[in-house]
């Protein structure tokens, strides 16, 4: 089949290259881990590998997600125009693209040490299984949180040759809470459609307690990040970053007070700023470790 410009555009949309916020949401906690693991900027090669690997794995995750949802996306207002749902890409093409992206990601990661490479295996399995989670349990956002947190132990392994599990676990727990919070905002956009077609989500599970639970999850995430910073004696820029992130989280809750679809989606997008200011504060801090 000829690769036309329209087909390349459809592949790019299937990979969500036109919607990079998901890549950023995966990148920020990975950068947190790299900076904590290295006590500052990590080696440039490791940074480049993780940045490019984040893009490739997020793209692969989007492809397999749309493959899994190809029969339901057409019934959801927000997703009915996606390449698989609209027939612009075939399921076979999507699977081939997923495998190619995963293989390229593995090839790029090859210069990493053995500990990091072994941890990349469950990363692919978790990412590939996430799209099917919403068929079997009511909190697929937690599954996504684990997938989006797996770069954290990989970062520690890549920098130090071993995983500092107490610190890695702290950061993974913080990111898990944050991911459930922002992906619940995302799920609130589709709640009515998901109820109609029988897809499970945290927005449905939490019901009218959704805003309260999102607030508690953001607060827990910030508390865990604060504890991680305290453990290594980070300076004031880190705490300033957490304070700004807390203000962003509070603004999101205010914004979705009426649970309007547009407001919920805008609040979800705003989490990019949350992750960015945490990283900015971390990068500007001068840790004595």
Give tens-digit pLDDT for 32-87. 999 999 999 999 999 999 999 999 999 999 999 889 888 887 777 778 888 888 88
pLDDT at 134 (0 to 100): 73
Mean of pLDDT over the chain: 92
- Distance of alpha carbon 180 from alpha carbon 143, whole angstroms: 9
- pLDDT above 70 covers what percent of the chain? 98
Query: What are the angstrom distances between the C-alpha of 41 and each of 7, 113, 266?
Result: 39, 18, 31
* CATH class of segment(s) 5-284: mainly alpha
Count of residues making up the chain: 289
Cβ 109 vs Cβ 30: under 8 Å: no
- Distance of alpha carbon 118 from alpha carbon 15, whole angstroms: 25
Band the pLDDT of 289: cuts 50, 70, 90. Answer: very low
Band the pLDDT of 282: cuts 50, 70, 90. Answer: very high
- Give the residue-averaged pLDDT of 203-222: 97
Residue 217 vs residue 140, higher pLDDT: 217
Give tens-digit pLDDT for 86-132. 888 999 999 999 999 999 998 999 999 999 999 988 888 888 888 78
Q: What is the CA radius of gyration of the chain?
A: 19
Tokens of 233: 């004696």
Question: Which residues lie below 8 Å from residue 118, measured CB to CB, with a gap of 6+?
Answer: none
- Give the residue-averaged pLDDT of 280-285: 96
Query: 278: burial class by Cβ within 10 Å (0-12, 13-18, 19+)?
Result: buried
pLDDT at 208 (0 to 100): 95
pLDDT at 226 (0 to 100): 98
pLDDT at 286 (0 to 100): 60
Question: Which residues lie below 8 Å from residue 105, measured CB to CB, with a gap of 6+?
Answer: 53, 56, 57, 60, 120, 124
- Distance of alpha carbon 64 from alpha carbon 133, whole angstroms: 12
Q: Is a pLDDT exceeding 80 seen at residue 6?
A: yes
Give tens-digit pLDDT for 133-154. 777 788 999 999 999 999 999 9
Give tens-digit pLDDT for 237-257. 999 999 999 999 999 999 999
The backbone torsions φ and ψ at residue 80, rounded to the nearest 5 degrees and listed phi first, read -65, -20
Q: Is a pLDDT exceeding 80 seen at residue 3?
A: no
pLDDT at 287 (0 to 100): 55
């Amino acid at each position: 089949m000829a690769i036309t410009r329209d087909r390349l555009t459809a592949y790019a949309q299937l990979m969500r290259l036109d919607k990079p916020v998901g890549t950023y949401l995966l990148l920020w906690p990975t950068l947190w881990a790299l900076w904590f693991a290295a006590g500052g900027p990590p080696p440039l090669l490791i940074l480049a590998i993780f940045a490019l690997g984040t893009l490739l794995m997020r793209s692969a995750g989007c492809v397999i997600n749309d493959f899994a949802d190809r029969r339901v996306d057409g019934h959801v207002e927000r997703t009915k125009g996606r390449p698989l749902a609209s027939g612009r890409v075939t399921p076979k093409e999507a699977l081939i693209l997923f495998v190619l992206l995963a293989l390229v990601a593995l090839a790029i990661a090859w210069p990493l040490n053995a500990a990091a490479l072994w941890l990349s295996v469950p990363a692919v399995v978790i990412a590939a299984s996430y799209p099917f989670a919403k068929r079997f349990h009511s909190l697929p956002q937690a599954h996504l949180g684990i997938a989006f947190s797996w770069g954290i132990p990989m970062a520690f392994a890549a920098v130090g040759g071993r995983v500092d599990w107490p610190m890695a676990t702290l950061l993974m727990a913080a990111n898990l809470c944050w991911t459930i919070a922002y992906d619940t905002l995302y799920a609130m956009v589709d709640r009515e459609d998901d109820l109609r077609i029988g897809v499970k989500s945290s927005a449905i599970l939490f019901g009218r307690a959704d805003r309260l639970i999102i607030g508690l999850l953001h607060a827990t995430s910030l508390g865990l990040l604060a504890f991680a910073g305290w453990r290594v004696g980070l300076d004031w820029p880190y705490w300033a970053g957490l304070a700004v992130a807390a203000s962003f989280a509070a603004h999101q809750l205010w914004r979705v007070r009426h649970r309007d679809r547009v407001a919920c989606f805008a609040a979800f997008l705003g989490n990019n700023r949350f992750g960015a200011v945490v990283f900015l504060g971390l990068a500007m801090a001068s840790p004595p470790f």
